[in-house]
Amino acid sequence: MSRLILKNVYKRYDNAEKKWFGKKKALNDFAVKDFSFECPDNSFIGILGPSGCGKSTTLRMIAGLEQITDGSIFIDDVRINNLLPKDRNIGLAFEDYALYPPLTVYDNLAFNLRAKKTPADKIKAVIDKVAPLLKVDELLRMKPSALSGGQKQRVNIARAIVRQPGLLLLDEPLSHLDGKMRQTLRQEIKRMHREIKCTTIIVTHDQIEAMSLADIIIIMKDGELQQMGTPLEVYDSPVNEFVAGFIGEPPMNLLKSVIVKRETGFFFTFDGSDLRVKVPERYLPLAADGKKVTLGVRPIDVLITQADTSTPVAVVVYENFGDERRVSVRVGEGHLNITTTENVAYKNGDTIRLDFNSEKTHLFDPESGDVIK
Ligand code: ATP
């Protein structure tokens, strides 16, 4: 187990412009900017963000495979900026499981330990312990060419942990697997983490993977940390519109709105739509006639109601997924998505009335995108 700390870490690739060919990416663009976080001993951290946001770069800097442009990385209070990868006590499992083809699974697992002159009986003891955790004990005599994609992924992760690292780094380790296999291996990784007690970081663009595996999620955008928190914190209390729209499937509705004052109170209104939604009591202290806000509400928190307290809106799309139904209605130029378990089928053009679960609405500043508390 190790405690990892990143302090104001920056990364700028000197060849950034070359890599981007004609795309004119400025040389001084940072792939990672002012990135700081702390992973406590034995924690499971998920770094999540869209493609190109700097997840792999961050992991590679922690592993020592990429130079840091500025800032510091500490493992157990030792600054490791200039330490060689082999001296960082780190286990790595990357997306492309580069197993050695001529070697058996056992020999692949043993490779690094043999290089460190670990005695054969110790190697056997650790492989005997790790192999069942990732269900590779039946595969030990096979060569990589005889393994399925899922089996290779398992061996890849097992190989990273037989080294008994203080820190385990996983970069999209399940990316080549189909949905069912991903779910199985996800559960195995979770069990394995509980058993081996090793501080683990997983990098993924798959929010389900991050939310189900990690105790702490870090969300990145354009090289910057947006929010760090438990899966529930980032889902329930997003700090800005980006996190709100990124976490959750289907994503949170984010509607541009103007608050208006009527005799009966304050209402959210939407350009080009008759829809009016009463401003919940908790937002009244910041409500003002004409104030512009972005209103965030998850599809599950938009309720279809029979009450005639709201203006009817027209159904544009209706989808039945069996256990839930998704309805999309037009609001001005945009759409509002609703997820419901109610077993009513709608046709295009049907009108429905809506209510919002006011406890679960979020307000964002339309300029900065930051949450308004
Ligand atoms: P993905 O999910 O697609 O793997 P990511 O979030 O892991 O993306 P990175 O691979 O860390 O993102 O890339 C961050 C930025 O750094 C991108 O703009 C990328 O093009 C750039 N970049 C990454 N590697 C290099 C490199 N070797 N040379 C130049 N630029 C690079």
Q: How many CB atoms lie within 10 A of CB 109?
A: 26
Regarding whether 298 and 178 lie in a shared domain, the answer is no
Nearest CA to ligand 1 atom 26: 13
Q: Tell whether ligand 1 has an atom less than 6 A from the beta carbon of residue 94.
A: no
Distances (CA, A) of 115 to 119, 122, 136, 141: 10, 13, 22, 20
The pLDDT of residue 22 is above 70? no
3-state secondary structure 109-133: HHHHHHHCCCCHHHHHHHHHHHHHH
Q: Decide which of 214, 238, 262 is a domain's last residue.
A: 238
Q: Is residue 183 part of a domain?
A: yes
Mutate to test the pocket of ligand 1, among 12, 51, 57 (most ligand atoms within 8 A of CB): 57
Mutate to test the pocket of ligand 1, among 9, 10, 13 (most ligand atoms within 8 A of CB): 13
Nearest CA to ligand 1 atom 15: 31
**Contact by Cβ (8 Å): 167, 198:** yes
156 vs 91: CA distance, rounded Å: 10
Q: Is residue 194 part of a domain?
A: yes
Regarding whether 276 and 211 lie in a shared domain, the answer is no
Full residue range of the structural domain in which residue 342 is found: 253-364
Regarding whether 225 and 263 lie in a shared domain, the answer is no
Regarding whether 232 and 292 lie in a shared domain, the answer is no
pLDDT digits (tens, 9 = 90+) for 69-94: 999 999 998 999 999 998 899 999 98
Regarding whether 259 and 172 lie in a shared domain, the answer is no
For ligand 1, what atom is nearest to the CA of residue 60? 11
Residue with tokens 């992991």: 59
146 vs 109: CA distance, rounded Å: 16
Q: Tell whether ligand 1 has an atom less than 6 A from the beta carbon of residue 16.
A: yes
Ligand 1 center to residue 148 CA distance, Å?
A: 28
For ligand 1, what atom is nearest to the CA of residue 18? 29
Classify burial at 246, counting beta carbons within 10 Å of its beta carbon; exposed 0-12, middle 13-18, buried 19 or more: buried
Indicate the number of domains in the chain: 2
Regarding whether 321 and 226 lie in a shared domain, the answer is no
Regarding whether 341 and 210 lie in a shared domain, the answer is no
Domain of residue 338, CATH code: 2.40.50.140
pLDDT digits (tens, 9 = 90+) for 326-371: 999 988 888 999 999 988 889 998 999 988 888 899 999 999 999 9
Element (H, E) at 259: strand 253-262
Provide mean pLDDT across the span 204-228: 94
pLDDT digits (tens, 9 = 90+) for 260-287: 999 989 999 999 888 888 899 999 999 9
Q: Tell whether ligand 1 has an atom less than 6 A from the beta carbon of residue 60.
A: no
Please write down the long-range contacts of 242-245, taking CB distance under 8 Å and 24 or more positions apart: 242/369, 243/219, 244/296, 244/362, 244/364, 244/371
**What is the pLDDT confidence band of residue 15, given thresholds at 50, 70 and 90?**
low
Regarding whether 229 and 81 lie in a shared domain, the answer is yes
Regarding whether 293 and 229 lie in a shared domain, the answer is no
Regarding whether 140 and 214 lie in a shared domain, the answer is yes
Q: Is residue 370 part of a domain?
A: no
Q: Is residue 113 part of a domain?
A: yes
Domain of residue 68, CATH code: 3.40.50.300
52 vs 222: CA distance, rounded Å: 7
Mean pLDDT across the chain: 90
**Contact by Cβ (8 Å): 113, 126:** yes
Regarding whether 186 and 58 lie in a shared domain, the answer is yes
Q: Decide which of 238, 265, 299 is a domain's last residue.
A: 238
Q: Is residue 219 part of a domain?
A: yes
Q: Decide which of 204, 238, 272 is a domain's last residue.
A: 238
Q: Looking at residue 24, what is its pLDDT?
A: 47
**What is the pLDDT confidence band of residue 27, given thresholds at 50, 70 and 90?**
very low
Please tell me which residue, 192 or 329, carries the higher pLDDT value: 329
For ligand 1, what atom is nearest to the CA of residue 58? 11
Ligand 1 center to residue 19 CA distance, Å?
A: 10
Regarding whether 77 and 161 lie in a shared domain, the answer is yes
**What is the pLDDT confidence band of residue 16, given thresholds at 50, 70 and 90?**
low
Q: Is residue 212 part of a domain?
A: yes
Q: Is residue 179 part of a domain?
A: yes
For ligand 1, what atom is nearest to the CA of residue 223? 14
The torsion region of residue 14 among left (phi > 0), alpha (psi -120 to 50) and beta comes to alpha
Please tell me which residue, 306 or 59, carries the higher pLDDT value: 59
Q: Is residue 267 part of a domain?
A: yes
pLDDT digits (tens, 9 = 90+) for 138-153: 999 999 999 988 889 8
